[in-house]
Structure 1
Amino acid sequence: MPEAAIPSPEVIIDRVGSAGIIRLNRPKALNSLTLSMVRAMKAAMHDFAEDDTVATVVLVGEGERGLCAGGDIRAIHDMGRAGDPDVTQFWREEFPINYAIAHYPKPYVALMDGIVMGGGVGIASHGKHRVVTGRTRLAMPETGIGYVPDVGATWLLPRAPGETGTWMGLTGQEIGAADAIYARLADACLSSDDLPALIEALGGLGGSASDSEVRAVIDGFAVQPAGGKFATQQALINRCFRFDTVEEILEALRQEEGEFAARTRDVILKRSPTSLKLTLRLLRLGRNSSSLVECLEREFTAASEILKNHDFYEGVRAAIIDKDRNPQWWPGRLEEVNEADLEGYFTSRHPVLFADHRL
């Protein structure tokens, strides 16, 4: 009888010269994060931080389709449906990783090639060096599955120019390399073909490479990305998304001429009404927050409450399980979502994630 195949690890820890490499290794699942992957990343980041021979840490997604499509929402869906008391454990361990990346003591380089969505943005865009390519498709698509942007996105998105972050959070639409850089979620664009050479060059740096040295290496490979929509649509986005209610945003879009506004409005109207209102409130609170930790705590509170309600399970069913792309939201209309009903999503009923601001 043939020997049973040994399963490949979900995260491969590697070295190229002085570069410590973290390779996400679930290519068939677009490298979607599991709890074991989060734990493996945490351990690798700790070990690399303590290793004087490691100059930089590089995050890579195996396969050619993407860095990471987010967290394994099917697993969270199933655990929530089953009433598993550990359903929030993934977020409890994932969110501190996002904070650790934002405050990592060594240059952290995320290669955002292909699909980068949800939790993938969290493990990439909080880093100091974010590399996109012509294949990058970045999004925070949560309103389309009855959820809200998390992983610190309510800290990142409000810090994009104008209201581009609000557009991203409400529509959940994909953006490419140029728009990712414009929105301050990435720093440089490279050809996908040059990524192996970039890793080799980073591995050739000394054991105590500075962020400026790493950026110089990246800039040596950088190319001009193809044009995006944000630079040309910024004024329209600012006019329409400056309001603090979704209804006002939709009305502003209705009054605009052109395909971009009409298409944006149509997309928003298909999203979960509850998620839209929650997302806008989270983004506005994030704009006035003093720290990433504050946003992560607030996101975790909202996420925990979302698991007690209808739209997340219906959204995952329609997108992932039955794949009919026809979610039946409840409530089904924005006017049926009472602002008072949202208060419970902001009332903490759990121990804080960050007793202090360290992992």
Structure 2
Amino acid sequence: MDTNGILLQRSGRLGHIILNRPKAINALNDAMIRDITAALREWETDDGVETVLITGAGERGFCAGGDIVAIYKHMQAGASKEIFWEDEYRMNSYISRYPKPIVPFMDGVVLGGGIGLSAHASHRVVTERTMVGMPETRIGFIPDVGGCYLYSRAPGELGTHLALTAGTGTGADAIMLGLTDYFVDSADLPALAEALAEAPADEAIARFARQEVPASDLEKDRHWIDECYQYDDAEQILAALQSSSEPKAREAAVELAAKSPTSVKLTLEALRRARGMDTLEEVLDQDYRLGIRLLAAPDFAEGVRAQVIDKDRNPRWNPATLAAVERATVESYFADLGEDELGLSPATVPAGRTQA
């Protein structure tokens, strides 16, 4: 069955969701998110479905994230801001607590919203083709969909480095970071899908998962990453990178300096706050506050324009420097939304509303 960008299939004990926008590397739109959620809800109570598999159509990747072009066009048309994040964040939370195994094949490109769709699942599979990352500071946004929950729990400051610079990692890096669980050769994925239709998820995956995972290149850089990103101040981090004797650190400084200053400061603050939060839902509520306010700020529209609309790769950030982003401005983005809170966490449910 084909419904708004996804395919739903049944085979044996397996329910299979296929993201079906290969030309867009399966970028998520709101209709896809609603239909994925609906399929999961139907299969949750279907005794004939034991495991859910999520894959991406085409050769390029699992999911390149949210459809930011569609979001940009909605913004230009003056669409309601709530339509962009609420359904997706509720889906992320639902996936994290789903009572049956969910097995995403994180093969090829897995960015942004693709992380939210896969890295909160129970049985996460990567391959030698995997490229994971949260590229949001590149477009004037923050790593949302619970990305700060995941990155804040990565070893040392590796998550901070990737989040601020919009960096990417391999499948081996993803396992080391805690974003995924199993490494399977991409050539074995069709056979693994067949096995999931016949056997429980743990048993099927055990037949194909590599016992020895390739070395993580990112982990080799942890010495300078932990040293340079230890600070809670973005300007201190940038200065440490610029003054480092490590060439890769100075390259990271160039990357960080090119990103939206507002996004960099908000991302760092969001990561540090996420470290003190106990649940994914608390972080998703924080993501919602930031997302709603960033839609009204200038950098998101400008970042999307520069990266994917005009493609001049020359965004004009406002403010243009880290120093110009005041502390009071950063704190204002995290302020409670009152009755407009998403309310996934019991602590943030607005008065008079039951918890989602």
Give the TM-score category using the shorter length.
Answer: over 0.9
Report the TM-score when normalising by structure 1: 0.93
Query: Tell me, which stretches of 5 or more residues in structure 2 are unaligned?
Result: 347-354
CA RMSD between the two structures = 1.7
- Equivalence for 1:336: 324
Q: 1:217 and 2:211 equivalent? A: no
- Equivalence for 1:115: 109
Q: 1:246 and 2:251 equivalent? A: no
Specify the code of the residue in structure 1 equivalent to 2:170. G
Cα offset, 1:255, TM superposition: 2.6
Contact 1:177 1:225 in 2 (8 A): no
Q: Using the alignment, how far apart are the partners of 1:22 and 1:71 within structure 2?
A: 17
Q: 1:140 and 2:134 equivalent? A: yes
Q: Using the alignment, how far apart are the partners of 2:253 and 2:218 within structure 1?
A: 16
Cα offset, 1:188, TM superposition: 1.2
- Equivalence for 2:216: 228
Specify the code of the residue in structure 1 equivalent to 2:298. H
- Equivalence for 2:174: 180
- Equivalence for 2:70: 75
1:129/1:189 CA distance change after superposition, 3 Å: same
Specify the code of the residue in structure 1 equivalent to 2:253. R
- Equivalence for 1:3: none
Query: Tell me, which stretches of 5 or more residues in structure 1 are unaligned?
Result: 1-5
Contact 2:140 2:302 in 1 (8 A): yes
Q: 1:300 and 2:288 equivalent? A: yes
Specify the code of the residue in structure 1 equivalent to 2:149. W
Q: 1:99 and 2:93 equivalent? A: yes
- Equivalence for 1:200: 194
Contact 1:305 1:344 in 2 (8 A): no
Specify the code of the residue in structure 2 equivalent to 1:247. E
Specify the code of the residue in structure 1 equivalent to 2:77. A
- Pick from 12, 28, 43 the counterpart of residue 48 of structure 1: 43
Specify the code of the residue in structure 1 equivalent to 2:9. D
Q: Using the alignment, how far apart are the partners of 1:203 and 1:315 within structure 2?
A: 43
- Count residues in correspondence: 346
- Equivalence for 1:38: 33
Structure 1's consecutive aligned runs of 4 or more residues displaced over 6 angstroms after TM superposition are: none
Contact 2:90 2:344 in 1 (8 A): no
Cα offset, 1:219, TM superposition: 2.9
- Pick from 153, 156, 174 the counterpart of residue 159 of structure 1: 153
Specify the code of the residue in structure 2 equivalent to 1:236. W
SS of the residue corresponding to residue 183 of structure 2 reads strand
Report the TM-score when normalising by structure 2: 0.93
Contact 1:17 1:200 in 2 (8 A): no
- Equivalence for 2:6: 11
Specify the code of the residue in structure 2 equivalent to 1:89. I
- Equivalence for 2:343: 354
Cα offset, 1:9, TM superposition: 4.4
Q: Using the alignment, how far apart are the partners of 1:9 and 1:72 within structure 2?
A: 13
- Equivalence for 1:327: 315
Q: Percent identity among equivalent residues?
A: 42
Q: Using the alignment, how far apart are the partners of 2:2 and 2:9 within structure 1?
A: 17
Q: Using the alignment, how far apart are the partners of 2:193 and 2:312 within structure 1?
A: 41
Q: Using the alignment, how far apart are the partners of 1:321 and 1:64 within structure 2?
A: 24
Q: Which shows bigger deviation, 341-350 or 196-205?
A: 341-350
Cα offset, 1:356, TM superposition: 6.3
